[in-house]
Structure 1
Amino acid sequence: MQFDSLSSLIAMGGYGFYVWLSFGVSFLVMGLLVIAAKAERRNLLKTISKNQQRQVRIQKARQNGQSAQE
């Protein structure tokens, strides 16, 4: 589609508000999805790290318990 001026591009034959609003909402939702995915990844990595640290503490406690029994 070819437009005569920038204002006619923005107006889009009277449908500009709906067209640009749909673009805006789409980009907003995609941005929120990226932010949510990064936050979820960060939380998942924290959980994995905590679980690994817990496993190390459990193994140390088991080793200390076995050496105390001997």
Structure 2
Amino acid sequence: MNWNSWAEVVAMGGYGQYVWGSLLVVAAVIAVELIELFLRRRAALRSLRLNLTEHA
């Protein structure tokens, strides 16, 4: 596709709201997944540390 301006890129032939909306949702879901992964990892490490100190 050839666009002559950034406005045409954003509009994407009238489908821009669906394309950019979908990308926004995907980015939000990935961000939530990364945050949850970080929190689960931190909880697992904390639990492991606690178990190691109790059984040492």
Q: Normalising by structure 2, what TM-score? A: 0.93
Aligned to 1:53: 53
5+ residue gaps, structure 2, are none
Instruction: Give, in whole Å, the separation in 2 of the partners of 1:28 and 1:16.
Output: 18
> Which structure shows the bigger proportion of residues in helix conformation?
1
Q: How many residues align?
A: 56
Q: Could you say which structure has the greater relative contact order, defined with CA pairs below 8 angstroms and 6 or more residues apart?
A: 2
Q: Does 1:34 align with 2:3?
A: no
**Offset from partner CA, 1:6-42 (integer Å, 9 cap, x none):** 1111000110000000011111111111111011000
Runs of 4+ aligned structure 1 residues displaced above 4 Å come to: none
Q: Normalising by structure 1, what TM-score? A: 0.76
Aligned to 1:64: none
5+ residue gaps, structure 1, are 57-70
